[in-house]
Chain A
Amino acid sequence: MPAITEDFRRAMGWLHSWLGVTIGVVMFAVFWMGSLTVFAPEIDRWMIPETRIVHRERAISYDRLLANLPPEAARSDYINFVVPDARRPAIGMFYRAADGEFRSLDLDPATGAPIDATDSHAGTGFVYPFHLSLTIEWRSLGYWIVGLAALSMLILLISGLFVHRKIIAEFFVFRPKRHARRATLDLHNLSSLAGLPFYFLMPFSGLLIFAFLYLPWGMAEPFGGKLKDATAAISGEYAVAKPAGRPAPLASVDAMKARAEAMWAAAEGVPVRTNLVRVFNYGDVRAAVYFRNTFPKDRVTLSEYVAVFDGVSGRVLHDFAKPPIGHASAWVQGAHFVQFGHWPLRWLYFAGGLGGCVMIATGMLFWLRKREAKLSANSPGYRLVEALTIAGTSGLIAATGAFLVANRLMPADARFVMESRADGEVLVFWLVWLGTVVHAAMLRGRAWAQQCWLIAGLAIAAFLLNAVTTGDHFVAAVGEGLWAVAGMDLVLLIAAAIAGRSAVRLSPVRPAVPMPVAMPAE
């Protein structure tokens, strides 16, 4: 095997530095929002208090829900129900309206009635899409930017392994008392190595999840260029015919659901439950009902089974089970989504995600520290990286805090310049983030401490506002078993403490002013 030459190491070092600085802010944003996405349903409960329902196992009749649909939904060709569980106690429902847009509502699991919920995108509607696409929907541009960041992450991890000569020794070295540059590099190495397998798994599985988007030609070509045929063979998707326009009653969805679960249980040998119920062409002669076990609680693998029934006759149209390689791929994707019922692992994912944030932030900081003593520290390029590093890390966290505070402060009928109250919360997020960029560009290094104070203030404000506006303060939430709310409050308090301590440490030390000494009169 050829030895790793000094030239090769230098080339990898150059790639590691410049690729990291170029895409670091996006990577940090994806990791930060990804860490929060681990608890997206809990963020939903915190931001949409009306859905803070203690989950109870109960049989839900989808026939009854369909019989009592709101009039607009009853005319929809696409009605989707998400089966409730302990983390999502309300029945999630969304449907395609006449204008082609999707509308979503939460249904009370006990009565099936729509819940008059706070209009908020919350965790599932904003944090999660931001993690996937930065919420830039135009021509899927955001997905491509995040994909490039994930690819860059893999390149950075491998190039980083080549850059460091004594990688094992560096794992055990952290010298916080040494000068800032050394301590930053130590922390970068330590955080990189501590979560290395996790940092490989996340971008790899993330890219695999969107393989159809990122490699459409390559995946469609073996199917004669038909991407729909590829998704049908790999994911079990089923093309439902368009409505015929002739009315026909829908057969019992509950009976079809029971049959789908029985078929899956027979194949698996243990009970398998459906997580998703979808009705196509409701009330039409071409109605179809689709069931999938998207996020099983007792296994890592996603969407192992799909069953589609003819809506009128109730006969099975499509019965799909993942084949072995598809199963392996779905396992890798399931490891990314971490939707299975394993709380300690979920917290470890959260910690791993935050560790990734530390790794990325310290990498960018080290780039700055290495150059701060040189003349280039005043160059436009340096100042740009400096402002983006500050705003891309502490600024993004502050914007997230502002998003939570806006959720608790904004009146129910607030509209601003956006279409809805929920969009108003998102507008606050973007405005605060933009503000932190300007702040960082103007104040440079001093902005760190001030933005940390801002994070601490916003976290405490969110904690207090939840108590004042909902009555579910931390102690009450624990008493009522609202663990999602209590957990969010606890994380806010910890965040405030860490941000406050960081602000104190980052505040510039004022030089001691010498006391004036009276001079003897001459």
Chain B
Amino acid sequence: MVADEGAALILWRIAAGFVGGYALTSGFVALLGSVLPLAGMARGEAVSLAAMLALFVYVPACLLMFATRRPLRDGALLSAGAAATIALARAI
């Protein structure tokens, strides 16, 4: 549990939550903004929608990193998710 942990693990949670969560959110916005136009939505509208939904990704990512009992695994998963969304958005 976070309250009983050492500084290194708490710092990892903070970094993974805030920095990893930011990367995931950026990737999410880019991916949604790139995918929805393939279905016919105007690009500006797709990015507007993605920006409105961004906090529904970022806030839960931060909360997850402080709630989890497996911060190393979940932080790694979150970072991998961020890398995957960014790579996918760039590929489209």
Contacts and interface: CB of A to CB of B under 8 A. Distances in A.
Interface of A: 7-8, 10-12, 14-15, 148, 151, 154-155, 158-159, 204, 207-208, 211, 215, 217-219, 221-223, 230, 233-234, 323-326, 328-329, 332
B51 interface: yes
30 contacts: A7-B1, A8-B67, A10-B1, A12-B66, A12-B67, A15-B63, A148-B18, A151-B62, A154-B55, A154-B59, A155-B62, A158-B59, A159-B63, A211-B51, A215-B29, A218-B25, A218-B54, A219-B50, A221-B30, A221-B89, A222-B33, A223-B47, A233-B47, A323-B42, A323-B45, A325-B52, A326-B48, A329-B48, A329-B52, A332-B52
A215 B25 contact: yes
A158 B3 contact: no
A218 B44 contact: no
Interface in B37-67: 37, 42-52, 54-55, 58-59, 62-63, 66-67
A238 B46 CA distance: 20
A215 B1 contact: no
Interface of B: 1-3, 18, 25-30, 33-34, 37, 42-52, 54-55, 58-59, 62-63, 66-67, 69, 89-90
Contact of B3 (A10, A204, A219, A324): A10
Given A10-B1, A14-B66, 11 more contacts: A11-B1, A11-B66, A148-B18, A155-B62, A217-B30, A219-B51, A221-B34, A222-B34, A223-B43, A233-B42, A323-B45
A159 B64 CA distance: 11
Task: Indicate the member of B3, B48, B51, B52 with the most A CB atoms within 10 Å.
Answer: B48
A406 to B, nearest CB: 38
Contact of B33 (A12, A148, A204, A218): A218
Contact of B90 (A207, A221, A223, A325): A221
B43 A14 contact: no
A230 B47 contact: yes
Given A215-B26, A221-B90, A14 B2 contact: yes
A270 B22 CA distance: 42
B69 A222 contact: no
A133 B28 CA distance: 26
A215 B90 contact: no
Contacts of B30: 217-219, 221-222
A450 B59 CA distance: 39
A230 B44 CA distance: 7
B41 to A, nearest CB: 8
A155 B29 CA distance: 20
B7 to A, nearest CB: 12
Contacts of B26: 215, 217-218
Nearest to B3: A14
Task: Indicate the member of A8, A148, A207, A221 with the most B CB atoms within 10 Å.
Answer: A221
B55 A204 contact: yes
Contacts of B50: 218-219
Nearest to A220: B30
Contact of A215 (B42, B44, B51, B63): B51
Contacts of A218: 25-30, 33, 50, 54, 89
A323 B48 CA distance: 10
Contacts of A217: 26, 30
A39 to B, nearest CB: 28
Contacts of B42: 233, 323
B44 A233 contact: yes
A11 B64 CA distance: 10
A504 B33 CA distance: 57
A84 B44 CA distance: 32
Contact of B2 (A15, A151, A204, A230): A15
Nearest to B36: A222
Given A155-B62, A158-B59, A218-B26, A234 B48 contact: yes
B52 A219 contact: no
Nearest to B5: A14
| Leading 10 A-B pairs by shortest Cβ distance | A233-B44, A218-B29, A222-B33, A221-B30, A218-B26, A211-B51, A15-B66, A218-B30, A14-B3, A325-B45
A473 to B, nearest CB: 47
A323 B62 CA distance: 32
A335 to B, nearest CB: 13
Contacts of A211: 51, 54
B44 to A, nearest CB: 3
Contacts of A222: 30, 33-34, 37, 43, 46-47, 89
